[in-house]
Homo-oligomer: A and B are copies of this chain.
Amino acid sequence: MRMEQLVGERFKERPSDCVIDSHALMIRGGYMKPVANGIFSSNPPLVRITKKISDIIRKEMDALDGQEVLFPVVMPAELWAESGRYESVGKELLRFFDRSDSKMVLGMTHEEAAVQLVREYGGSYNKYPFMIYQIQTKFRDEARPRAGLIRVREFTMKDAYSFHTTVEDMEQYYEKVRVGYHRIFAKAGIPEVIDVEGDSGMMGGSISHEFMLVTPVGEDTLAICPECGYRSNLESAECIYDAPAAEKNDVMPELVYTPDCKTIEDVCNFLKTDVKKSCKAVAYQGETSGEYVLVFIRGDLEVNETKVKNAVGENLVVADIQPGHGLVAGFMGPYQLEYTGKILVDASLKGMQDVAMGGNQEDYHFTHVNMERDLPNLVFGDYGKIQQDSICPCCKKPIINLERGIEVGNIFQLGKKYTIPMNMEYLDENSQRQTPYMACYGIGVGRLAASVCEAHHDEYGPIWPMSIAPWQVHICCIRSDVEEVKAYAEKLYTQLQQAGVEVIIDTREIRPGAMFSDADLLGVPLRVVVSPKNLEAGCLEVKSRDKALDEKIPLAEIEDYLKKEIEKRLA
């Protein structure tokens, strides 16, 4: 490829709408161009990078006996109705009508299509286990696309689906894929990716893992125990609390006038009680059903909305409390509550005594509530958000660390969540009908590219690892107006291409500074500078984009040298 022909514009100024570096650099470097909110066109360098990433993934999937298939982007709604997700998934699922007014959806994931494809094939136990995968365009109608390729609406994804006759087989296979995923990320240049326990969310199933690149610009929060190695997405991290001091509380609940108290902190200040001895209420409404969901939690803690969402089975919005439901906004408490709808009580309140809580009347709170004595029928669950220095659910030490991460992949043990409603069955050794187990495995190709850029860049541009770099060698010809310099650069270009090296050459008659800036934005690992000065000295300058290398190489040795450097970096 010739730099002067490379489609895409490169420029210096950081676009104002880019909040993270990878987004800014990939726009500045002409890797992509926005077409609509969260929708991009890709230029040749990005196409080359994602192709290499796809090939890395493909190789690993094939090594795991995966078979490449292709599901459609556009699917009939009936297929999603079979699993129940046509109704249960929120607006991320783009629903529309085709010309004959049939309901259709745009594929954001393909569990239903996978089951549909192999439902007959998997009819006998001797076909199991097997895995199918695809690398295909997906569309997810995100409410807030952001951060370039990190959160988009249209994206290329590798999604794989494995099928099993026993839960043990599923678990073993899942573990093999988990390890394979680490090989993929290492090969793509980010071996530092960790896996954490994930929230299964709308995918269903019980166990899932997310693969996280830890970085301050990540949009996920991770709970990590520095001691025992426990790692979880904050969304699914279990919350554990010290058992409350078993002080005796003989005082009965008392309704207290608490004027001008807007927050739980106001109330506790007013009542001169510790916020840790209060109960606060958070009210939601189902996005579709409109039903109220009331969550009670210890006053100093935060509600984990994902846990609440999973408990009620639909997306939630902040409640708009209307009269007539027995709910008094700002003064809700579980004691003497008229409301009879959905109530979730966090385990942080369990066993507490002498608690302050809403009085279910305007400007009134109860004090001295003893949870066990006064509310003996409550059922407790885990709806809290883990915090910095929370107790580790694994080793029980109060040393949880919160970090930010970008999710670059996820894997789910789905069990029979799809195979049961979609009537996938096989005959076992005894000719008995059985339902197979299923697991699924995803990696966003573009997001992975952006994550590698996020992990490996400087202020001048991305520093692509050799394994996914758009080109391997970048020839900068300084002074193309000097005939022998240009001729030498062109000769080297041809020679390297013939040697199978992926090379891009820049022979534009521009200042070296501008040429190097463009090269920095392309982030090719090895740069060869051909200039009058170098040629006079009988050598070429070879620099690596990561600055580790800066050598003068005799002309006769250049091809061998570059090939060895490439090989070293691909190993």
Answer yes or no: A256 CB below 8 A from chain B CBs.
Answer: no
Contacts of A35 in B (CB 8 A): 71-72, 75-76, 79, 113, 116
**Residue A202 lies at the interface, judged by CB distance under 8 Å to chain B:** no
Instruction: Indicate if A43 sits at the interface (CB-CB under 8 A).
Output: yes
Task: Specify which of A72, A137, A139 lies most central, judged by the most chain B CB atoms within 10 Å of its CB.
Answer: A72
Q: Which residues of B contact A136 (CB under 8 A)?
A: 137
Cβ contacts A48-71/B at 8 Å (1 or 0 each): 101000000000000001011111
Decide if B72 touches A73 in the complex (CB within 8 Å): no
The closest CB in chain B to the CB of A97 belongs to B96
- The answer to whether A33 and B74 touch (CB under 8 A), given A8-B121, A98-B141, A132-B7, is no
A99 to B142, CA, bound (A): 8
Out of B7, B9, B94, name the residue touching A67 (CB < 8 Å): B7
Q: Quick check: is A434 within 8 A (CB to CB) of the other chain? A: no
Q: Is the CB of B99 within 8 A of A96?
A: no
Considering only residues 132-151 of chain A, those with a C-beta below 8 Å from chain B are 132, 136-137, 139, 141, 143
For A71, list chain B residues within 8 Å (CB). 35, 41
Q: Are B116 and A72 in contact (CB under 8 A)?
A: no
Q: For window 311-338 of chain A, which residues contact chain B by CB distance below 8 Å? A: none
Q: Contact: B118 with A72, CB < 8 Å?
A: no
> Which residue on chain B has the smallest CB distance to residue A114?
B41
Contact with B along A1-23 (1 / 0, CB 8 A): 10011111100000000000000
> In the complex, what distance in Å separates the CA atom of A202 from the CA atom of B16?
39
Name the contact of A99 in the complex, choosing from B33, B91, B121 (C-beta under 8 A).
B91
Per the bound structure, the CA–CA distance linking A121 and B4 in Å amounts to 11
Interface size on A, residues (CB 8 A): 60
Q: How far is the CB of A273 from chain B (nearest CB, A)?
A: 44
Which residue in chain B gives the minimum CB-CB distance to A132?
A: B7
- The reply to whether the CB of A47 lies closer than 8 angstroms to some CB of chain B is yes
The answer to whether A33 touches B117 (Cβ under 8 A) is: yes
Minimal Cβ-Cβ distance residue in B for A116: B35
Any B CB within 8 A of the CB of A40:
yes
The answer for the CA separation of A136 and B117 in the assembled complex, in Å, is 22
Quick one: which of A76-133 are within 8 Å of B by CB?
76, 79, 91-92, 94, 96-99, 102, 104, 106, 113, 116-118, 120-121, 126-127, 130, 132
Q: Is A457 an interface residue (CB 8 A)?
A: no
Closest Cβ–Cβ distance, residue A339 to chain B (whole Å): 31
Q: Does A153 sit at the interface, judged by CB under 8 A?
A: yes
Contact of A39 with B by CB under 8 A: yes
Q: Does A44 contact B (CB under 8 A)?
A: yes
**SS class, residues of chain A in contact with chain B:** mixed
A42 sits at the interface (CB 8 A): yes
* A36 within 8 Å of B (CB atoms): yes
Given contacts A65-B5, A97-B96, A99-B143, contact A39 B91 (CB under 8 A): no
Closest to A163 in B: B7
Counted per complex, copies of this chain come to 2
Chain B residues contacting A154 (CB-CB under 8 Å) are 72-74
- Closest Cβ of chain B to A61, distance in Å, is 12
Which single member of B7, B46, B74, B130 contacts A118 (CB below 8 Å)?
B7
Cα separation A121 to B72 with both chains bound (whole Å)? 33
Instruction: Contact check, B65 vs A41: say whether CB atoms are below 8 A apart.
Output: no
Partner of A5, one of B36, B42, B76, B130: B130
**Chain B nearest CB: distance from A143 CB in Å?**
7
CB neighbours of A96 from chain B (8 A): 94, 96-97
Interface string of A154-185 (1 = CB under 8 A from B): 10000000000000000000000000000000
- Cβ-defined contact, B70 with A41, below 8 A: yes
Q: Which residues of B contact A67 (CB under 8 A)?
A: 1, 5-7, 44
Question: Min CB distance, A48 to chain B, in Å?
Answer: 8
Instruction: Say whether B141 contacts A36, CB under 8 Å.
Output: no
- CB-CB under 8 A from A65, the residues of chain B are 5
B72:A40 contact, CB within 8 angstroms: yes
Is B69 a contact partner of A130 (Cβ separation < 8 A)?
A: no
Is there an interface contact between B141 and A99, defined as CB atoms closer than 8 Å? yes
A5 CA to B124 CA in the complex, in Å?
12
Among B37, B42, B132, point to the contact of A69 (Cβ < 8 A): B42
Give the residues in chain B near A127, CB-CB below 8 Å: 5
Contacts of A99 in B (CB 8 A): 91-92, 94, 141, 143
CA distance A387 to B63 in the complex (A): 57
Known: A9-B121, A36-B76, A94-B98. A41 touches B116 (CB 8 A): yes
Closest to A75 in B: B35
Give the residues in chain B near A36, CB-CB below 8 Å: 72, 74-76, 79, 102, 104
Chain B nearest CB from A118 CB (Å) reads: 6
Tell me how far the C-beta of A310 lies from the nearest C-beta in chain B, rounded to whole angstroms.
22
B72 to A43, Cβ gap below 8 A? no
**Chain A residues numbered 291-319 whose CB sits less than 8 Å from any CB in chain B:** none
How far does the Cβ of A141 sit from chain B's closest Cβ, in whole Å? Answer: 5
Given contacts A43-B69, A46-B70, 13 further A-B contacts (CB under 8 A): A5-B67, A5-B130, A9-B121, A33-B117, A41-B72, A41-B117, A43-B117, A44-B67, A74-B153, A94-B98, A94-B99, A98-B153, A99-B143
Report 7 cross-chain contacts, Cβ distance below 8 Å, ordered by A residue. Answer: A9-B120, A37-B102, A40-B72, A72-B154, A73-B139, A73-B154, A136-B137
The 6 residue pairs across chains A and B that have the minimum distance between CB atoms? A96-B96, A42-B70, A36-B76, A91-B99, A44-B67, A99-B141
